[in-house]
Amino acid sequence: MAELLGSYDVLGAFWVNIELTFWSAILSFVIGTALAIMRVSPAPSLQWVGTAYVNLVRNTPLTLIILASSLGLWGQLGVVLADRESPTFLESNNFRLAVLGLSVYTAAFVCEALRSGINTVPPGQAEAARAIGLSFGQSVRMIILPQALRGAIAPLGNTLIALAKNTTVAQAAGVLQAATLMTTMIEFESSLMVAIFLVIALGWLVIVLPIGLVATFLSRRLGVAR
């Protein structure tokens, strides 16, 4: 195991997965929140768009979405998300396209997690908000969402764990991360197969376990008893 750590940049590879998780989590939360609001809005057209997005994306393989971001947006439409003059253009562009694909996919699950939290808010809360003259947007922002977030901590934590593990699919967009490094190590160090799997498994344990522990702690600490 020490030989592998000395010969390959295992920490650097896992750091890329952490970066993918961090940026995708932020963007997917923004998109997912907007989708959740659309799904509970009083406008049927917005409800339809939100529902169609969730059903379509959740039933589409993540690899296909990542490839659509990379080969479709960049390869066919020429969409770039990095400075062409930068010496790291290819690396940065692939990374950002992968973040976009991961975010678009994960947003559907964030939406459903938030909607489950919204369902824990008593209907009387929204009725009281309307009674004092608050608009739909105001009641969602000031009353419903703050309570829904507390009720959705556990499913959001599970979604974040799934996102962290899904970052390995970024390999399809040319992003060099833990899954790519594992493939390389197996190719050149096949005699150390068991050690390679142990190193990679340990790396994922270090990433995923704290997320689960923090989510469980926050859910118990901030969850609203009904």
SS3 176: coil
pLDDT in tens, 34-46: 999 999 888 889 9
What are the Cα distances from residue 188, in Å, to 4, 16, 180, 208? Answer: 11, 22, 13, 27
Mean pLDDT of 49-65: 93
**DSSP letter string, 123-147:** HHHHHHHHHTT--HHHHIIIIIHHH
Domain architecture of the chain: domains with CATH: 17-175 (1.10.3720.10)
* Contact in structure between 139 and 126 (CB atoms under 8 Å): yes
Say how far apart CA 153 and CA 47 lie, in whole Å: 23
Mean pLDDT of 45-70: 92
Is residue 20 over pLDDT 60?
Answer: yes
Residue-wise pLDDT tens digits, 88-111: 888 888 999 999 999 999 999 999
pLDDT over 90 for what percent of the chain?
40
Give residue-wise pLDDT tens across range 2-15: 666 667 788 888 99
pLDDT digits (tens, 9 = 90+) for 133-190: 777 778 888 888 888 888 888 899 999 999 999 999 988 888 888 888 888 888 887 7
Are 24 and 163 in contact by the 8 Å Cβ rule? The answer is: yes
C-alpha distances (whole Å) from 146 to each of 33, 61, 75, 152 are 12, 32, 41, 10
Q: 116-129 pLDDT, tens per residue?
A: 888 888 777 777 87
Is the entire prediction scored with pTM above 0.75?
A: yes
108 in Cβ contact with 57 (< 8 Å) = yes
